[in-house]
A and B are shown apart, each in its own frame.
Chain A
Amino acid sequence: MAKMTVIFDRCKGCELCTTACPKQIVALQHEKRNKEGVFTAYCTDESACIGCAMCAMMCPDCAIVIEK
């Protein structure tokens, strides 16, 4: 049981996290822009998240919190 949370207004939508996820379950959503005007990253399949924190390690903006 693990959870990846993106801090909505801190994400700059750079997509580096999407390259780091070994489960390939991180992507940009295209529904809601944050206050910086960007579409942010999210976990496409929470049940598949293993909490490895590789997305968070790759994030330049400390915009990802991992719980396990």
Chain B
Amino acid sequence: MAVVFERPKSLCDVRLHYCAGCTHGIIHRLVAEVIDEMGIEGTTVGVCPVGCSVFAYNYFNCDMIEAPHGRAPAVATGVKRARPDLNVFTYQGDGDLAAIGTAETVHAATRGENIAIIFVNNGTYGMTGGQMAPTTLPGQVTTTSPYGRNPKTAGYPVHVCEMLSTLDGVALATRTAVDTVPHIRETKKMIRKAFENQRDGKGFSIVEVLSTCPSNWGLTPKECIKRLQEECMPYYPLGVYKDVDTNVANAELLKMGGAI
């Protein structure tokens, strides 16, 4: 018998610190699988956010930089401009990317910065204990929206892919999930496309991955998957919001009803 599935080489052989059932680990593995399959570990530099995945620098075997909260796209810009020969990716959560780092995200996107962004959206600030995130759903109870997020006072969630898909510099804006194996496969395909876009000089690519947070959602990992499917996916439809290769733009997607 031969091994047909094991840890990818560019993922360090260490125990991840994430809580049981947290899907960060799946997304880490997918990024590492893509790096392995493209044979680019030795020329890749990753940029970590502040948040649960701050320790990602201990998990990827490629060179890593730890950015200030929200600034990963700016740090990645610096790396890429200084060394265009390197493959540069950021790995960011929703608080990091869609709240404190909104400006860095939007402007890296509109510049068409030739980088790949892996955006993990679980609708909460996991590291600090489950506060309301920019992506927290209306009505969702968190430690700082104890009566449920009220859009009248706390505003509405940010739809990152929809927003970025309006920008000319964006090559790929897509939303996937890791709730099932088919969706995991689709997520990997999109991460690969983001890295290939960079290799081919197409510009800014973002893969938003709907993820879970068992600890702060207060649900078991299995219940989290159910909530992801029943509550999050209807609010954040999966799909390709922009792809310069196929000319998919936001408007077309809306016609398609947001399905992959």
Q: Touching in the complex, A and B, CB below 8 A?
A: yes
A residues with a Cβ closer than 8 A to B are: 1-3, 9-10, 12-16, 19-20, 38, 51, 53-54, 56-62, 64-68
CB-CB under 8 A from B185, the residues of chain A are 57
Instruction: For A51, give its contact among B4, B11, B26, B222 (CB under 8 Å).
Output: B4
B76 close to chain A: CB less than 8 A: no
Instruction: For B5, give its contact among A9, A13, A14, A66 (CB under 8 Å).
Output: A66
In the complex, besides A53-B5, A60-B21, A61-B18, 19 extra interface pairs with C-beta distance below 8 angstroms are: A2-B1, A9-B15, A12-B20, A14-B221, A16-B222, A16-B225, A20-B180, A38-B20, A56-B6, A57-B26, A58-B184, A60-B16, A60-B18, A60-B22, A60-B24, A62-B25, A66-B4, A66-B6, A67-B3
User: Are B2 and A16 neighbours in the complex by a CB distance under 8 Å?
Assistant: no
Range, interface on chain B: 20 to 34
User: Are A68 and B20 neighbours in the complex by a CB distance under 8 Å?
Assistant: no
CB-CB under 8 A from B7, the residues of chain A are 62
User: Are B15 and A67 neighbours in the complex by a CB distance under 8 Å?
Assistant: no
Closest to B19 in A: A12
Instruction: For A16, give its contact among B1, B18, B19, B221 (CB under 8 Å).
Output: B221
A15-B221, A58-B181, A58-B184 given; A68·B4 CB < 8 A: yes
User: Are B5 and A65 neighbours in the complex by a CB distance under 8 Å?
Assistant: yes
13 CB contacts below 8 A, A to B, read A10-B15, A12-B19, A12-B21, A15-B222, A19-B222, A60-B24, A60-B25, A60-B29, A61-B15, A61-B16, A62-B7, A62-B25, A67-B1
B23 close to chain A: CB less than 8 A: yes
